[in-house]
Amino acid sequence: MKKLLQAFESKTPEIVFEWQDAETEARGWVVINSLRGGAAGGGTRMRKGLDRHEVESLAKTMEVKFSVSGPAIGGAKSGIDFDPADPRKLDVLKRWYKAVAPLLKHYYGTGGDLNVDEVHEVIPITESYGLWHPQEGVVNGHFQPSTSERIQKVGQLRLGVAKIIEDSRYTPDHGRKYTVADMITGWGVAEAVHHYYNIYGGEVQGKRVIVQGWGNVGSAAAYYLAQQGAKIVGIIDRAGGLLVPEGLSFEQVRELFHNKQGNQLAAEGLLSFEEVQARIWDMEAEIFLPCAASRLVTQDQLDRLIDRGLEVVSCGANVPFNDPEIFYGKVYEYLDSRISVLPDFIANCGMARVFAFLMNNNVEISDEAIFSDVTSTVRNALALTHAQSSARTGIASTAFEIALKQLV
């Protein structure tokens, strides 16, 4: 596996597009690792301090993810070095998408990512520059469709991604409007845990969960696990956190989901970030969901969780461990050798899988069809990994080997 990984990591990306905003200090990059299958895909993220190396790493991560989610295309990523809390954010995004629109028309597809919203920012801005959908480049480059096929595939994308969820099994509340894009990545992270216990033995009911990050991914994953009977005992977010050893009720988790302030946790009795950071890693929990930014989780934090009974990590964030390596550094390898790690390219493949599903011909666009398809994709990937090795350790390295054999 490591030889395959080294060969894949060391390959120079095919295309790097660099941008400097004329009106602010914002800088941006599109990195296309390869045009495998005639196209490449990957979301757009924004954060202060982001650099080209981070974007390159994530582009390679996306290529591995497509080996699970489909379609069989190359990995890419867009990244903008700018403070997402700056009131000039929307104008920066408008100038960014104007600059990259030609790529998005012909061979690159994007979506939302960290601090960039799929439905409220990416889709309307790209539409204003003449794109039918931000995944249009994948449709054109990979499928090379006829005009009627293009209209059908893009129409399905437009309808499915922004679809309001109506089925009570998948939405936190019938009285509020949540889209597929709001919920689907967290759904996949939670379903990865569900299928892990189903395949490797055990059940979610009664398991204690710690969540890092309360944005769309972390809050949705917590909601779906609580729905299955898990107990959310700790939440750590940049705004602070909560420590509840007895576990939050399902209704309390749903309320926290509704009360998010943007992508931040908001609650009465919120503890400071410093206090939560000092205490949460010593709580008893079987499940850990790292769903915040990349490369945050340290070996010391993981050791403390393992000492208190940690069984499985489902990676909601891309590359959540504090390693300099692109994929599988010392911290990741150490953790993989001690407990079960469900890698990001399986656990958080939900949005990529929705895009792939909606690009098929004549699909059923319903809540059940979309959510069930993501569930099946995650389950199949974990079942394939289990078939190669039934051990509860080394899951990530086995999954990497299966994926990389398709790419190298």
Residue 226's pLDDT is 98
| Dist CA 40 CA 273 (whole Å) | 38
Give the C-alpha distances (Å, rounded to integers) separating 23 from 19, 92, 101, 150, 181.
Answer: 12, 8, 19, 36, 31
Kindly report, residue by residue over 116-163, the tens digit of the pLDDT. 999 899 999 999 999 999 999 999 999 999 999 999 999 999 999 999
Give yes or no on whether 7-161 and 180-406 have one common fold: yes
* Residue listed under structure tokens 């988790």: 253
Angle 190-192-193 from CA coordinates, rounded to 5°:
70
Cis peptide before 71, with omega less than 30 degrees from 0?
Answer: yes
Spelled out in words, what is the top-level CATH class assigned to the domain 180-406?
alpha beta
* Residue listed under structure tokens 């407990």: 339
Phi-psi sector, 201: left (phi>0), alpha (psi -120 to 50), beta? left
Structure tokens at 233: 């005992």
Cis peptide before 320, with omega less than 30 degrees from 0?
Answer: no
Residue 293's pLDDT is 85
Residue (of 147, 145, 289, 155) closest to 222 by Cα position: 289
Q: Break the chain into its structural domains and give their ranges.
A: 7-161, 180-406
Structure tokens at 299: 């070996």
CA torsion sign for 52, 57, 61, 63 is: positive
Residue 174's pLDDT is 65
Q: Cβ(105)–Cβ(131) under 8 Å? A: yes
pTM to 2 decimal places = 0.93
Residue 2's pLDDT is 85
| Dist CA 94 CA 82 (whole Å) | 13
Mean pLDDT rounded to a whole number for the chain: 96
Q: Please list the alpha-helical segments (H only) found in 77-179.
A: 89-106, 123-128, 136-138, 147-161
Give the C-alpha distances (Å, rounded to integers) separating 135 from 140, 193, 359, 367.
Answer: 9, 29, 9, 20
Phi-psi sector, 247: left (phi>0), alpha (psi -120 to 50), beta? left
Q: Cβ(108)–Cβ(30) under 8 Å? A: yes
Low-confidence residues in the chain, pLDDT < 50: none
Residue (of 223, 159, 228, 154) closest to 185 by Cα position: 223
To the question of domain 7-161 being in CATH 2.20.25.90, the answer is: no
Residue 175's pLDDT is 74
Q: Cβ(56)–Cβ(21) under 8 Å? A: no
Q: What is the largest CA-CA distance in the chain?
A: 58
